[in-house]
Amino acid sequence: MQLNRDELMQAYQQMRTIREFEERVHEEFAAGNIPGFVHLYGGEEASAVGFCMHLGKRDYIASTHRGHGHCIAKGCDTRGMMFEIFGKKEGLCGGKGGSMHIADLDTGMMGANGIVGGGPPLICGAGLMAKTLKTGGVAIAFVGDGASNQGTTLESYNLAKVWDLPVIFVVEDNGYGEATASSWAVAGTQVGRAAGFGMPAFQVDGHDFFAVHEVAREVVQRARDGHGPSLVHVQFARYFGHFEGDAMTYRLSDEVAHLRADRDCLMLFRQRVLDAALLEAGDLDRIDQQVKSHIDQITAEAKSGATPTEADLLTNVYASY
């Protein structure tokens, strides 16, 4: 499927925003400026953007503890995200959630989640709503390879298939389950596991935005047309540790450097659109500059933002329906 110029610019802008956001959070956390725990998505941008470009306001996603990229790709406000990560009052969740619990239901982001396998049951609920109300919406659960062995995930596969829900399970295999290579940690293949539940499944190179975008187009349209759930196994590699502060002694010393030089999704995207004369280098350079300026601004604002007060402590603890 050929993307037009505006769509290519949008894709690159979103991927560059995720990358710059994560690089900055990495720096600020290392400097001791960010409280709590942080897991970064750098290197995985093509997955979040490739899928979310097919989604709209009627669609929902659920994320993982490594959720910044999904939030940005689904349209969450980056300023509110940065404030949230810094624990400030103007954060998307009032500074109460931090990095692992960013949510924005207005944009269809059901939340990052500190519970491994916590997202699939949520999107089954969103999918059931879409099917019952006939909204035409779909729901996507982004999960890590480690979540594929969780009971919550397997039960969600079963539920989605039995009820033919318009949902998609995106298993993002970044090579490691914490410090253990996923080839050791996960028994069987994701495609084979999906087949056991009667779901179609696809495997795609997560460094290739265009390959991800095309698979995403197919499974999203399949769900919208009422043909039930699908699974997509996205294979790529993360640039940062499992968490910020992870020394990554389980990886080869030059592994990340080689990935950045040879398999970077932004670099591969840039090469492809320039070689095909779909965009000009100046177009991409301007996006780089604009994104960097934006991240500089929201980081400075977040650093000086107001912290929650004692009076904010018990707000939004309970919800009424």
How far apart are the C-alpha atoms of 53 and 17, rounded to whole Å? 14
pLDDT in tens, 149-158: 899 999 999 9
Task: Answer whether residue 86 is part of any domain.
Answer: yes
Task: Answer whether residue 186 is part of any domain.
Answer: yes
Query: What sign for the dihedral angle of Cα 125, 130, 131, 133?
Result: positive
Q: What pTM was estimated for this model as a whole?
A: 0.95
Task: Answer whether residue 205 is part of any domain.
Answer: yes
Is pLDDT above 80 for 175?
yes
Is pLDDT above 60 for 187?
no
pLDDT value of position 1: 54
pLDDT category, 318, cuts 50, 70, 90?
Answer: confident
In which domain, by residue range, is 203 found?
Answer: 5-263+278-302
Task: Answer whether residue 219 is part of any domain.
Answer: yes
Is pLDDT above 80 for 188?
no
DSSP three-state, residue 180: strand
pLDDT value of position 146: 83
Tokens of 124: 């089954």
- Mean pLDDT, the chain, integer: 94
CB 205 within 8 A of CB 211: yes
Task: Answer whether residue 258 is part of any domain.
Answer: yes
Angle (nearest 5°) at CA 266 between 208 and 110: 75
How many other C-beta atoms lie within 10 A of the C-beta of residue 223? 27
pLDDT in tens, 1-31: 589 999 999 999 999 999 999 999 999 999 9
Q: In sequence order, what are the beta bridge partners of 231?
A: 169, 201
Choose the weakest-confidence range: 104-113, 173-182, 288-297. 173-182
Task: Answer whether residue 129 is part of any domain.
Answer: yes
Is pLDDT above 70 for 184?
no
Number of domains making up the chain? 1
How many other C-beta atoms lie within 10 A of the C-beta of residue 35? 13
Task: Answer whether residue 175 is part of any domain.
Answer: yes
DSSP states along 114-162: SSTT-HHHHHHHHHHHHHHHT----EEEEEEGGGGGSHHHHHHHHHHHH
Task: Answer whether residue 66 is part of any domain.
Answer: yes
Q: What is the CATH number of the domain that holds 206?
A: 3.40.50.970
